[in-house]
């Protein structure tokens, strides 16, 4: 009886052992499957993370290299991201501004319809400004993206284009008027010469001579006006701007001393390819303008040369009366002058000469504080189509 029970128990144990072995094999297969699946999932996750990292790096690179200034702030207006263009226009690096409140930066946005300006310390930029909210997938506000596009140069080109259209119209008008006047002058000059010969040795001869002199002066004025509206063929040579400026200052020294204007200059040995005589005329006009703008006894003119990217820049700054905001866009217009005796051609000629040298002019002015003219000349190594002699 006991043996039968023992045998039955043994048989049950064998069956249970086989079942357990079967279950163990199934469990091992499950573990192997799960291990393989987990490994595959981990590989997929690693690939996904790698792709996400690449995408993030790519997006960061795109954001960092955008021409527009991008500033990202959180809900408390703290700066979280800033790109290279924003660093440049604000004059700061990312490490200095991350975490700071946007409103604490040394800059201000000024809207003067339809224009918007960004003022950063002593600089002013014409800009397009926009601000967009950052909304997450649940509809929560996470912050804002501030976009600032510097359009200063575009505005200058636009103004220059409009000014050039006025130049062309003015040039056509001057050419027609000069032609008509010269036709009459030729007849008057002929009769004046005949009259002068008839009155030779008589008291009235001086009147005939006066007529001839007047005709000559008027003819010279017409020649200058035609010279202004016609294109000049530049005599390009390698020119050291320092020498040109020094020469102009030497010529103007009597005026500078008479006006009791103090002169400060910082000049370099930079060279450009240009027409020396026209460059002298340019500096002469701008410096005379600066001197004449000074009405106080403590007048000061500063002339500084500097390098910026592909340009040699000459800054001519005075502490004169400044230019009224309403007049800023007209100062380069022909015959526009706020002086009683001015012809209004000085700055017009400056602009034309600078354009002929592939350069441009920038002007900063504050009424009652002074004015700065910055003349941008392309460096000789970056000027195309020019030659050295």
Q: How would DSSP label each residue in 56-90?
A: HHHHHHHHHH-SSEEEEEETT-BEEEE-HHHHHHH
What is the percentage of the chain residues whose pLDDT exceeds 70? Answer: 90
Q: How confident is the model at residue 389 (pLDDT cuts 50, 70, 90)?
A: very low
Does residue 272 contact residue 380 with C-beta atoms inside 8 Å? yes
**How does pLDDT run across 79-92, given as a tens digit for each residue?**
888 888 888 888 88
- What does the pLDDT average to over 7-12? 74
**Chain-wide mean pLDDT for the chain?**
82
Higher pLDDT pick, 41 / 268: 268
Choose the most confident range, by mean pLDDT, from 176-185, 191-200, 268-277. 268-277
**How does pLDDT run across 318-368, given as a tens digit for each residue?**
999 999 888 888 888 877 887 766 667 778 888 988 988 999 999 999 988
pLDDT for the residue 385: 36
- Displacement of CA 109 from its chain's centroid (Å): 18
- What does the pLDDT average to over 238-267? 89
pLDDT for the residue 384: 41
Q: How confident is the model at residue 387 (pLDDT cuts 50, 70, 90)?
A: very low
pLDDT for the residue 341: 61
Q: How far apart are CA 218 and CA 213, in angstroms?
A: 9
178 pLDDT more than 80: no
pLDDT for the residue 381: 56
Higher pLDDT pick, 48 / 88: 88
Quote the pTM value. 0.47
Give the residue among 336, 389, 332 at the shortest CA–CA distance from 365.
332
189 pLDDT more than 60: yes
247 pLDDT more than 80: yes
């Amino acid at each position: 009886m006991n043996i039968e029970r023992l045998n039955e128990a043994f048989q049950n144990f064998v069956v249970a052992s086989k079942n357990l072995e079967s279950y163990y094999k199934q469990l091992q297969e499950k573990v192997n499957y799960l291990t393989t699946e987990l490994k595959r999932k981990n590989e997929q996750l690693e690939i996904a993370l790698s792709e996400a990292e690449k995408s993030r790096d790519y997006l960061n690179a795109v954001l960092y290299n955008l021409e527009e200034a991008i500033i990202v702030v959180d809900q408390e207006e703290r700066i979280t991201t800033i790109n290279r263009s924003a660093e440049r226009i604000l004059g700061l690096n990312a490490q200095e501004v991350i975490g700071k409140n946007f409103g604490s930066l040394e800059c201000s946005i000024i809207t003067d319809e339809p224009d918007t300006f960004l003022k950063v310390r002593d600089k002013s930029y014409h800009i397009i400004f926009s601000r967009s909210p950052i909304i997450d997938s649940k509809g929560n506000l996470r912050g804002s993206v501030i976009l600032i596009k510097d359009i200063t140069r575009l505005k200058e080109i636009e103004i220059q284009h409009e000014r050039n259209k006025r130049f062309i119209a003015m040039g056509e008008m001057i050419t027609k008027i000069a032609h008509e006047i010269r036709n009459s002058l030729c007849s008057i000059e002929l009769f004046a010469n005949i009259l002068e010969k008839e009155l030779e040795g008589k008291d009235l001869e001086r009147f005939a001579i006066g007529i001839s002199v007047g005709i000559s002066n008027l003819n010279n004025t017409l020649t200058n006006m035609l010279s202004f509206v016609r294109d000049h063929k530049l005599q390009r040579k390698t020119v050291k701007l320092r020498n040109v400026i020094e020469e102009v200052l030497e010529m103007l020294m009597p005026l500078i001393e008479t006006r009791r204007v103090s002169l400060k200059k910082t000049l370099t040995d930079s060279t450009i390819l240009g027409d020396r005589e026209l460059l002298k005329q340019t500096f002469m006009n701008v410096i005379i303008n600066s001197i004449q703008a000074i009405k106080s006894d403590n007048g000061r003119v500063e002339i500084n040369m500097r390098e910026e990217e592909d340009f040699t820049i000459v800054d001519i700054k005075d502490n004169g009366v400044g230019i009224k905001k309403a007049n800023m866009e007209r100062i380069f217009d022909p015959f526009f002058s706020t002086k009683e005796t001015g012809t209004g051609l000085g700055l017009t000629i400056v602009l034309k000469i600078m354009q002929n040298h592939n350069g441009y002019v920038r002007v900063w002015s504050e009424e009652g504080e002074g004015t700065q003219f910055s003349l941008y000349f392309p460096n000789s190594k970056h000027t195309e189509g020019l030659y050295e002699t």
